[in-house]
Amino acid sequence: MPVVATAAPVHSSSPPAASDAAAAEAEADLSSALSLANIRQTLIRLEDTIIFSLIERAQFARNEPVYEAGAIPVPGFHATGSRYSLLEYLLREIEQVHGRIRRYTSPDEYAFFPEDLPALVLPPITYEQVLAPCSTVVNINTAILDMYLQDLLPEISVPGDDHNYGSSAMNDVTALQALSKRIHYGMFVAEAKFRKQTEQYSELIRRQDSAAILDLLTDRAVELKVIERVRLKAATFGVDLSSGGDGCTSYRVQPEVVAQLYEKWIMPLTKEVEVQYLLRRLDAESGGSSSDGAAAASKAQQRQHSAAA
Ligand SMILES: O=C(O)C(=O)C[C@]1(C(=O)O)C=C[C@@H](O)C=C1
């Protein structure tokens, strides 16, 4: 799937550039893709998607059965003995369709069920190598799903059951995919930071000093700006114009809740991705030195499959 982000990872379906002009253009694309300002613009744009998806989900009740394995059996699926919840079923099915049309071969897309990704039906795209090969190893979607179910959903949905199971799950999927993309975009941030301060990061990477890497990449001033901006966006996008008249503004999702979600979960998980990527940044080979390879293997396999198709 072509990457449409502002700081779009550079991709091309044509052979490597032969002429000097084409080489210069490719270099300019690469430096634009790795400009911290451009990458932050993409993070800002993804805030809109995340906040809108949370507002959409908030119109439905908590609907606990959606998240309980087997509570809403899917004919023909649960008969196979699957322990998935309705949400996991939908997420996996959507990844099957999107996976076929190359979504997860893109360097800014990470699947929740990477080990199950299908073969492609479209010819492959050749992506410019912006990130180091270790980017295929990093996938923290399990932690993102846990965070969403345990910390985020209880904050934005009212307790209870309104039987809107399909709608709830659909909105969950939209929110989860946007969160996953935003959080894994941390790898582009990390790469840009690594290229800017290569010596300092390399020293810490050689020592595998994750605490010092976290310290070096943290920019508290930027974080405070993010928190303020998402609070304002949530207040603007989520104001309930149908309420009021009594002088009180009502919100579909409390702006403070969104601000806290960014502060407590979304930015820390982005930093976790940055640290995981940087710890492996100097590994020479694809797949790195790590053995935690289901995600890596499948992303790499899908890419290889693409190349062979
Ligand atoms: O913009 C950056 O420099 C990032 O690393 C991204 C981010 C974020 O998640 O928004 C994470 C860590 C920094 O402390 C600031 C912001």
Q: What is the pLDDT of residues 133-142, one digit of tens each?
A: 999 999 999 9
Going from the Cα of 290 to the center of ligand 1, the distance in angstroms, rounded, reads 25
Domains within the chain, CATH numbers bracketed: 39-304 (1.10.590.10)
| Cβ(92) – ligand 1 distance below 6 Å | no
Best residue among 45, 179, 215, 217 to mutate for probing ligand 1's pocket (most ligand atoms within 8 Å of CB) is 217
- Please tell me the predicted confidence (pLDDT) of residue 291: 40
Instruction: Tell me how far apart the alpha carbons of residues 263 and 237 are, in angstroms, rounded to a whole number.
Output: 19
- Please tell me the predicted confidence (pLDDT) of residue 288: 43
Instruction: Tell me how far apart the alpha carbons of residues 42 and 19 are, in angstroms, rounded to a whole number.
Output: 31
- Please tell me the predicted confidence (pLDDT) of residue 163: 97
Q: What is the pLDDT of residues 31-85, one digit of tens each?
A: 777 899 999 999 999 999 999 999 999 999 999 999 999 899 887 776 566 789 9
Instruction: Tell me how far apart the alpha carbons of residues 15 and 91 are, in angstroms, rounded to a whole number.
Output: 35
Q: How many Cα atoms are found within 13 Å in the side-chain-facing hemisphere of 218?
A: 13
Q: Which atom of ligand 1 is nearest to the CA of 193?
A: 3
Q: Answer left, alpha or beta for residue 111, where phi above 0 means left and psi between -120 and 50 means alpha.
A: beta
Residue position matching structure tokens 């809107």: 164
Share above pLDDT 90 across residues of the chain, in percent, rounded to a whole number:
71
Tokens of 83: 């322990």
Mean pLDDT of 186-205: 97
Interface TM-score (ipTM) > 0.90? yes
* Residue 74, phi then psi, degrees to nearest 5: -100, 115
Q: What band does 294 get if pLDDT is binned at 50, 70 and 90?
A: very low
Q: Is 265 in contact with 226 (CB distance < 8 Å)?
A: no
Q: Which of the pair, 37 or 1, is modelled with greater confidence?
A: 37
Q: Is 194 in contact with 275 (CB distance < 8 Å)?
A: no
The DSSP symbol for 288 reads: T
Q: Is 181 in contact with 52 (CB distance < 8 Å)?
A: no
| Cβ(184) – ligand 1 distance below 6 Å | no
Instruction: Tell me how far apart the alpha carbons of residues 296 and 159 are, in angstroms, rounded to a whole number.
Output: 37
pTM over 0.90, yes/no: no
- Please tell me the predicted confidence (pLDDT) of residue 33: 77
Going from the Cα of 195 to the center of ligand 1, the distance in angstroms, rounded, reads 16
- Please tell me the predicted confidence (pLDDT) of residue 208: 98
Q: Is 6 in contact with 45 (CB distance < 8 Å)?
A: yes
Instruction: Tell me how far apart the alpha carbons of residues 111 and 125 are, in angstroms, rounded to a whole number.
Output: 18
AA identity, residue 139? N
